[in-house]
Amino acid sequence: MTSSTDLRSYAVGGTTALGLVRAMDTHPLQGDHGAAYANIHPDYQLSLATRQRGGLCVPSSVSVHVDFDLTLPVAANPGGMSARTRAAWDGFTAFARAHEMHHKASYIGCATAFVTQARRHSASECFALQSTIRGMLAEMKRDCEAKQVPFDREQARVVANLRLFNMARVQSLR
């Protein structure tokens, strides 16, 4: 199991907490599950070789490489922010990065478990074994995506209480 990460960014306009939050809300990043403040997308590449042994087809090698596209927000005009806003923005972006790294670790865990499971399979024909393992990969991808949803739901409550968002709420009341 190996992985690589391609880092991308999207610019967020604004120099106040309210301006930054409004910019992200009105022009959100389109993530895997809709509007997002940050996103990580896994792309799985299966490497599979099989061989006949004792009347059975067994995997001779199974590995997965996961290429991640990680997209994080970047302030378009950080020099225009007050020190207080910049600190709140930095706290938010640190949270966003940590959140996406949690997803990355989860995806890697899913892929690692898949490889372990796939290596234990056998079949009478190699074509059947390869088909089974490819089906297992598709199932793992679906199940692993489903695992991300409760975490995102829980984290949405945390985001709403980050300093940047609290400052934006106060500024919107003025």
Q: Is the pLDDT of residue 174 over 90?
A: no
**pTM (2 d.p.):** 0.94
Q: What is the rounded average pLDDT of the residues 13-21?
A: 98
So what's the pLDDT on residue 33? 85
Q: Is the separation of the CB atoms in 27 and 9 below 8 Å?
A: no
Token readout for 164 is: 């940047």
Q: Is the pLDDT of residue 67 over 90?
A: yes
Percentage of the chain surpassing pLDDT 90?
A: 96
Q: Is the separation of the CB atoms in 73 and 96 below 8 Å?
A: yes
Token readout for 47 is: 């490497």
Q: What is the rounded average pLDDT of the residues 117-139?
A: 98
Q: What is the rounded average pLDDT of the residues 121-138?
A: 98
| Mean predicted lDDT score pLDDT of the chain | 97
How would residue 21 be classed by pLDDT, with cut points 50, 70 and 90?
very high
